[in-house]
Chain A
Amino acid sequence: MRILSLAGRRLAASIPTLFLILIGVFLLLQFAPGDTVDALMAQMGGGDAATARELRKFYGLDVSVPVRLGNYLLHLVQLDLGFSSIYGKPVATVILERLPPTILLMTASLSFAFFFGLVFGIIAARGVNKWPDTLISTLGLIFYATPSFWFGLMAIVVFSIYLQWLPAGGFEDIGQAQSGLWRMIDIARHLILPTLTLGLIFLAIYLRIMRASMLEVLNLDYVRTARAKGLDETRVVMGHVLRNALLPMVTLIGLQAGTMLGGSVVVESVFSLPGLGRLAYESVVQRDLNTLLGIVFVSALLVITVNFVVDLLYARLDPRISAEG
Chain B
Amino acid sequence: MDAAKRYFRSPAAVIGLVLLLVVIAMAVSAGILFPRDPLALAGRPLVWPFSNPRFPLGTDNSGRDIAAQIFYGSRISLLIGGVATAIAVAIGTLIGAFAGYYGGWVDNILMRITEAFQTLPNFVLLLVLVAVFGSTLMTVTIAIGVVSWPAPARLTRAEFLSLRNREFVQAGRTLGMKDLQLILGEILPNALPPVIVYASVVMALSILLESALAFLRLSDPNVASWGNLIGLGRDVLRVQWYVSAIPGIAILVTVLAVSLVGQGLNDALNPRLKSR
Contact = CB atoms under 8 A, between A and B. Distances in A.
A, B in one complex: yes
B255 A14 contact: no
Interface string B257-272: 0011000000000000
Of the listed residues B112, B113, B131, B247, the one surrounded by the most CB atoms of chain A closer than 10 A to its CB is B131
A300 B119 contact: yes
A157 B276 contact: no
A241 interface: no
A111 to B, nearest CB: 20
A262 B212 CA distance: 11
B116 A266 contact: no
Interface string A301-317: 00110000000000000
A31 interface: yes
Interface residues of B, number: 49
A266 B124 contact: no
Interface stretch (B85-93, B162-170, B230-238): B230-238
B248 A150 contact: yes
Contact of B251 (A150, A269, A285, A303): A150
A259 B216 CA distance: 17
Contacts of B255: 144-145, 147
Interface string B223-251: 00001001001100110010011011001
A148 B116 CA distance: 26
Interface residues of A, number: 52
Interface string B180-220: 00000000000000000000000010001001100110100
B204 A258 contact: no
A89 to B, nearest CB: 20
A289 B133 CA distance: 13
A287 B247 CA distance: 30
Given A20-B113, A28-B132, A259 B122 contact: yes
Nearest to B114: A17
Contact of A150 (B122, B204, B230): B230
B51 interface: no
A82 interface: no
Interface in A228-279: 258-259, 261-263, 265-266, 269
A74 interface: no
Contacts of A150: 211, 215, 230, 244, 247-248, 251-252
Nearest to B260: A141
A225 to B, nearest CB: 22
A29 B120 contact: no
B123 interface: yes
A24 interface: yes
Interface string A155-172: 011000100000000000
B142 interface: no
Contacts of A148: 212
A186 to B, nearest CB: 23
A72 interface: no
B128 interface: yes
B106 to A, nearest CB: 16
B79 interface: no
Contact of B218 (A142, A144, A161, A284): A284
Nearest to B238: A161
Interface string A1-29: 00000000000001011101100110011
Interface of B: 12, 112-113, 115-116, 118-134, 204, 208, 211-212, 215-216, 218, 227, 230, 233-234, 237-238, 241, 244-245, 247-248, 251-253, 255-256, 259-260, 275-276
Interface of A: 14, 16-18, 20-21, 24-25, 28-29, 31-33, 141-142, 144-151, 153-154, 156-157, 161, 212, 215-216, 258-259, 261-263, 265-266, 269, 280-281, 284-285, 287, 289, 292, 295-296, 299-300, 303-304
Given A153-B241, A263-B123, A296-B124, 10 more contacts: A21-B120, A28-B132, A29-B128, A33-B134, A147-B252, A150-B252, A216-B276, A284-B218, A287-B131, A299-B124
